[in-house]
Amino acid sequence: MPLPHLVPNPGDHVVFLVLRRMRAPLIVMIVITSISVLGMVLIPGVDEQGHPYHMSFFEAFYFVSFMTTTIGFGEIPHAFTPEQRFWVTLCIYPTVVGWLYAFGSILNLMQDPAFKRTLFHAAFARHVRNLSEPFCLVCGYGATGHLLVHRMAKEYRQCVVIDIDQEVINELVMEDLNLYVPSLGADAAETEHLIKAGLRHPMCRAVAAITNDDQANQKIAMTARLLHPDIAVIARAEYPETERNMRAFGVHHVVNPFATFAEDIAEAMTMPAHFRFRTRLMEGNDPESLAERLAGLADRPWVLCGFGRLGQTIHARLSEIGVRFSVVDAHPEINPLPDGAIIGRGIEEGHLREAGIERAGGIIAATDDDMDNLSIIMAARRLNPDIFTIVRQVQRANGALFEAAAPDMVMQCNHLVARNAHSWIATPLLHDFADGIERLSERTVERLMKRIAAKTAAETFETWQVRLDDGDMPAVATMLREGKELRMGHLLRDPWHPDEPLPHIVLLAELDGREWVLPGPSLPLQPNMNLLFCGRQSVGWMAARLQPDALAYGVANACGDWAVAGVSDAH
Amino acid sequence: MNLQRVFFAFFVLLAMSLNYGFFVGDMDNPAHHSVYELFGAVVINLIATVLKFGERSHIGSLLLASSLVADVGLLGAAAVMGYATHVAGNPAAWTPLEVSLAGGALSANIVSVTLMVIEASTIRR
């Protein structure tokens, strides 16, 4: 029968190795010390009055201890005889050497990288085990992970980070985050490391597999699905094949940065208000002028330089909404170019002219080389100063160059993946809401945005999701448990001043798969309902969340027809 | 024959025999319990302990544990003896405590030797 608790865990291996290597120095030290002690005990001495005197083991050990460590208190308890001094002279050198050898080797072993890593991993695993709040496991701390973790930390959401590169983990440790983020420099594709990082921890709420390696992401996502099926898995996939595999395995949210970007442009061209609203909810800013300009360019011809993964995805998606492209690409042997494509890098003015740059409404520089992309938009602007420029940025380090070139729109995979991963983790209802408002007209969405803008300044705008339970909304949960009737309107007004609306609006309510898009104030609240809000988190809102007295006062003094019992819910 | 094994077995057995040599005799008669024998037992026990460092097998960890117990007993006896001689000033009164501590260490040493014999007997020839 296997005895699982007796199987040493792999980290113990190094500890055993270190102990084994400490054998020789320790034995040398014990032998030399004991011989010196024995000599001191056996060799006769005299006391101050000249009587014969033998040192006891205690005195000899005391003397040898301070001799060995080179402290040297002197000849204690009595001045030594010449015989004793002979013996001490003989002993001093070997004992000091033995001591230095032993301690030198032990200190050296303590510095052993494998040993230190084992200790560090053990400390990390202990820290993760002791986490008592919900956390998200982020695999990969490249540019994407960096953006995601920083945004999460800003919102005081706990993360645990794994990255294969110890260097970036060292950087993370030095970064100034709002909370301590445990981090591990190890390969996240290995199950053992994921478990160490808390994959099976009951408080683990989500796993984000956002390394720059599709294979690793796929392995992480599948491991998470198998070992902790209840939690949300967000995975980055840049190849359609990986995406298919992940979906087949039941990974909840696959983020393909290319498809996401193509979708963004398509939405901006066809439904600019929806695009603006969604961007506002996800990122906090309102790309008003961008959306307006893009919407006007949908029926103009476009030039697409670079027909790799991004180029193909954009081409496929925008062709669906009727955008016409001239494609320029330098690698016809790799990329399946459409008919009429121009072979070239797109830097040469001749090729751009051939692609019809003078008549084009916009140009997309989508090669995987930052310098080429910048050259393309520079050349395009020379030929057509009014052209709309979309450019792909691959390296985050080139940010300053892209800023100086000032294109109209920059496509950054890291940014898109981090944005989507964040919204899946922090506000998953936002995606349901975005689907839910698709059928609303542009004018309705514009009115909605005006309503929000009137309530909240752009700087303090937030989107947040809560659950009506004891953890998120204790005051509401308590009242509902007591059988009191609460309506949505009670959460939209300041409980201490029931006639004053709070600076936020409710976007979506969800309970057991049933959804209410833009619910009215008369919607009855129920335990464990999930609610999505946007606006500013005000003091009044905090009172409604946390203070039962405040909420009870607000309910008792609520005015408005929605507050009258018996009114049916609006949606 | 493996010289390393001889070395190992020698120290483990010597640790037990020196320990027994100190332990044997009247409990309260200091003349039966030589301080030199205790010194030898302590040193040899420490060496035996260090030799057991880094054994990954199950029996290896039991061996190390029993040796650590013997160390505790013998170092305790040595500390009591030093205290009795230099601080308390009446060594004879403390002898029974020293001997019983050494007796405890002896039991751990016997376990240690037994384990070593068991381990040796499981090796297939």
Give residue-wise pLDDT tens across range A247-256.
Answer: 998 888 999 9
Q: What is the CA radius of gyration of chain B?
A: 16
Q: What is the CA radius of gyration of chain A?
A: 35
**A280 lies in some domain:** yes
**A125 lies in some domain:** no
What ipTM does this complex have?
Answer: 0.92
Taking the C-alpha atoms of residue A205 and residue A423, their distance in angstroms, rounded to an integer, is 14
* pTM reported for the whole predicted model: 0.78
**A400 lies in some domain:** no
Q: Does position A240 have pLDDT exceeding 90, yes or no?
A: no
Pairing mode, if any, of strands A183-185 and A158-163? parallel
Same domain, A323 and A379: yes
Q: How confident is the model at residue A2 (pLDDT cuts 50, 70, 90)?
A: very low
Q: How confident is the model at residue A237 (pLDDT cuts 50, 70, 90)?
A: very high
Give the per-residue pLDDT at B125.
56
Q: Count of domains in chain A?
A: 4
User: In this structure, what token pair is assigned to residue A277?
Assistant: 């609203």
**A304 lies in some domain:** yes
User: In this structure, what token pair is assigned to residue A16?
Assistant: 């055993």
Give the per-residue pLDDT at A38.
95
Which residue of B lies nearest to A37 if distances are taken between CA atoms?
B39
**A69 lies in some domain:** yes
Q: Does position A219 have pLDDT exceeding 70, yes or no?
A: yes
A interface toward B at CB cutoff 8 Å? 6, 8, 12-13, 16-23, 26-27, 30-31, 34, 37-38, 41, 56-59
Q: How many CA atoms lie within 13 A of A235 on its CB side?
A: 32
**A371 lies in some domain:** yes
Give the per-residue pLDDT at B124.
65
Mind listing the pLDDT tens digit for each residue in A501-533? 899 989 999 999 888 988 988 899 999 999 999
CA distance B4 to chain A (A): 13
**A570 lies in some domain:** no
Question: Higher pLDDT residue, A428 or A458?
Answer: A428
Same domain, A386 and A296: yes
Same domain, A301 and A329: yes
Give the per-residue pLDDT at A206.
94
Give the per-residue pLDDT at A5.
39
The closest alpha carbon to A80, from A92, A98, A97, belongs to A92
Only one residue has tokens 């496509």, namely A411
Mind listing the pLDDT tens digit for each residue in A137-186? 999 999 999 999 999 998 899 999 999 998 999 999 888 888 999 999 99
Mind listing the pLDDT tens digit for each residue in A475-487? 999 889 888 888 8
B interface toward A at CB cutoff 8 Å? 35, 39, 43, 46-47, 50-51, 53-56, 58, 78, 81-82, 85-86
- Range of weakest confidence among A2-16, A41-55, A289-303: A2-16
Question: Higher pLDDT residue, A113 or A37?
Answer: A37
- Spell out which residues of chain B touch residue A27, defining contact as CB-CB under 8 Å: 47, 50-51
**A341 lies in some domain:** yes
Same domain, A386 and A341: yes
* Amino acid identity at A217: N
* Amino acid identity at A539: V
CA distances (Å), origin A400, targets A371, A397, A417, B111: 13, 8, 21, 72
Q: How confident is the model at residue A1 (pLDDT cuts 50, 70, 90)?
A: very low
Mind listing the pLDDT tens digit for each residue in A104-137? 988 888 888 888 888 888 889 999 999 999 999 9
Which of A191, A220, A255 is the endpoint of a domain? A255
Residue A122 neighbours by CB under 8 Å, 6+ apart: A11
* Chain-chain contact of B50 with A26 (C-beta, under 8 angstroms): yes
Containing structural domain, residue A63: 12-110
Phi-psi region of A144 (alpha: psi -120 to 50; beta: other; left: phi over 0): alpha
Q: Spell out, as residue ranges, where chain B has pLDDT lower than 70.
A: 124-125
Same domain, A219 and A277: no
Mean pLDDT of A347-356: 86
Give the per-residue pLDDT at A346.
80
Instruction: Give the CATH number for residue A42.
Output: 1.10.287
CA distance A53 to chain B (A): 15
Which of A226, A255, A284 is the endpoint of a domain? A255
Instruction: Give the CATH number for residue A348.
Output: 3.40.50.720
Q: Does position A332 have pLDDT exceeding 90, yes or no?
A: no
Cis peptide before A77 (omega within 30 of 0): yes
- Spell out which residues of chain B touch residue A112, defining contact as CB-CB under 8 Å: none
Give the per-residue pLDDT at B111.
96
Same domain, A202 and A103: no
Rounded to the nearest integer, the mean pLDDT of chain A is: 88
Question: Higher pLDDT residue, A2 or A27?
Answer: A27
Could you tell me if A194 and A226 are in contact, meaning their C-beta atoms sit under 8 angstroms apart? no
Give the 3-state secondary structure of A488-513.
HHHHCECCCCCCCECCEEEEEEEECC
Mind listing the pLDDT tens digit for each residue in A377-432? 999 999 999 899 999 999 888 889 999 999 999 999 999 999 999 999 999 999 88
Phi, psi of A529 (to 5 degrees): -70, 145
Same domain, A165 and A182: yes
DSSP string for A133-198: S-EEEEE--SHHHHHHHHHHHHTT-EEEEEES-HHHHHHHHHS--SS---EEES-TTSHHHHHHTT
